Structure 1
Amino acid sequence: MKILDAFPRLLLGACALALPLAGLCAPPSKTQQIERGRYLVTIGGCNDCHTPGYGASGGKVPEKEWLTGDTLGYSGPWGTTYATNLRRLVAGMSEQQWLAMAQHQPMRPPMPWPALRAMSARDLAAVYHFIRWLGPRGGDAPPYLPPGTAPRGPAAVFPAPPGS
């Protein structure tokens, strides 16, 4: 009798852990996707670069200000990059475009693109839905500057690796 009592829990556990990967369970609700996306953005460190003042404030930036891009440059042998306003970027993309970009588009340092590409399509979709839920806000980050071009404004400078 105890095995029969435990069966519903075992089935729910299998659905939560394994069956979604096989497409056999209902997809997550919009609310679940947004919550999962919020969690992934938070633990993935997206705010560290894409939210102005996040690191300096110890993460005490209101969520309504998250992911609006930054004017702090990251300068190194690759040139100078600026963290994109993800909210404006995603506002103009379909989920499929976001997945293609996140999984295949080359990105410049210091973007941790190997970690982004290692995320499952389901997790990337959750990030997409969270950013869409936040809605567009803010302006565009400054454009990329090629090597040898001085950064505009403040920049974190990464020296070339020794021997390069």
Structure 2
Amino acid sequence: MDSGFKTLTKFALSALLAATVQGVAANAESIAKGKFLIGVGGCNDCHTPGYSESGGRLPQATWLTGNGVGFKGPWGTSYPQNLRSSAAKMSAEEWIQMARRPMLPPMPAPAIATMSDSDLIAMYDFIKSLGAAEGEAPHALPPGVEPATPYIDFVPKNL
């Protein structure tokens, strides 16, 4: 091999290594930001079974796996979905599109819809870093259908 080819090869390998290291650092930063946003957003309170009852002291391996306890109100009964299996099936762009769509209560859809794309991608990156998880929450029920699962009554009383 001539020295010009060797120099070019070394340069290309160095550039590839630098880009890889930079990408890993950026992804680690995004994952950390996503974990923070999931925490302050209270996502585990609903999407992780037993999280609230444990005072937030459940292993991360159990986080965001969906919940069979519904929220019943005038909209019917909604269930917190398994975000890990959802993220595993989506691209980052599809995740952003999902976050911008209307959602059933008690999801704070207006707050989520106003988040920046980079915030939503950070949440996506963190959830993806947890890996897919088995199991799905029940599908939402329309108004007037009595859930067969435990549920929280989200109807104001004494108004």
Task: Give the TM bin, normalised by the shorter chain.
Answer: 0.7 to 0.9
Would you say 1:146 and 2:142 are equivalent positions?
A: yes
Q: 1:43 aligns with which of 40, 44, 51?
A: 40
Answer yes or no: is the 8 Å Cα contact 1:90–1:131 preserved in 2: yes
Match of 1:116 in 2: 112
Match of 2:154 in 1: 158
Amino acid in structure 2 at the alignment position of 1:52 = P
Answer yes or no: is the 8 Å Cα contact 1:77–1:160 preserved in 2: no
Instruction: Compute the TM-score of the two structures, normalised by the length of structure 2.
Output: 0.82
- Structure 1, gaps ≥5 residues long: 1-25
Percent of paired sites with the same residue: 48
Answer yes or no: is the 8 Å Cα contact 1:70–1:141 preserved in 2: yes
User: Secondary structure of 1:29's partner?
Assistant: helix
Bigger radius of gyration = 2
- Paired residues for 1:14-163 under 5 Å: 29-103=26-100, 105-159=101-155
Q: Which runs of 4+ in 1 moved over 6 A?
A: none
Instruction: Compute the TM-score of the two structures, normalised by the length of structure 1.
Output: 0.79
Match of 1:14 in 2: none
- Structure 2, gaps ≥5 residues long: 1-21
Amino acid in structure 2 at the alignment position of 1:102 = A
Cα deviation for residue 119 of structure 1 reads 1.0
Q: What is the CA RMSD across the aligned residues, in angstroms?
A: 1.8
